[in-house]
Amino acid sequence: MIDNSSSSISRRAVLGAFAATALVAAPTYSNAAGFLRGGGDIRRIRMYSGRTGERLDTIYWVEGKYIKDAVKEINAFMRDWRSNDVISIDTRTIDIMAASHNLMDVSEPYMLLSGYRSPATNAMLRSRSRGVAKNSLHMTGKAADLRLSSRSVNQMAKAASACRAGGVGRYSGSNFVHMDCGPIRNWGR
């Protein structure tokens, strides 16, 4: 549920939780790939945006099925906040984010720095920084830049890398980790 004032769980999320037969214990690094292939009965994502003040706390997958309304909420939350453009975020990216969060055994929501970026936003950011890719996966809804105050960049990157499901970039100087569902690769320090 997107909420500008609190971090409450949506009614749908509570109903989804009751509908599930079991909750999955936080997976270990060794079984992260199994979690992404369907090892869990429930998948949940928690984020907030310092740019918009919005919060999201939703169960988006229950017993092998994505919850369409929850995925729509995630798409809206991860929009290009500069232009308000919304596209479908690749659910593989959402899964990587959720699995990484579980691996770190943390209750703190992610701070979303960047989800979807329109081509115009990406071009503007690229003109200001060498670290922005011309064909960024952010422009296709396949990437997110995230921060946790309770975990280091290295801890976050280790959890994301353990998923063995996409790209992981360490941006220690800016205190965030890039996660995407593209080819498996790592960069940064």
Show me where the domains of the chain are located.
2-188
How far CA 160 is from CA of 3, 57, 119, 154, 166, in Å, comes to 26, 20, 26, 10, 8
Each residue's pLDDT expressed in tens, for the chain with a length of 189 residues: 555 544 445 555 544 444 442 333 334 444 455 555 444 589 999 999 989 999 999 999 998 899 999 999 999 999 999 999 999 999 999 999 999 999 999 999 999 999 999 999 988 888 888 778 888 999 999 999 999 999 999 999 999 999 999 999 999 999 999 999 999 999 998
Q: Do 24 and 41 form a contact (C-beta atoms < 8 A)? A: yes
CATH class of 2-188: alpha beta
Residue 86 has φ and ψ, to the nearest 5°, of -125, 135
Beta-bridge partner residues of 47: 56, 110
Per-residue pLDDT at 151: 97
Element (H, E) at 143: strand 143-147
> DSSP label at 159?
H
Per-residue pLDDT at 39: 43
Rounded CA gap, 97 and 179, in Å?
A: 7
Amino acid at site 4:
N
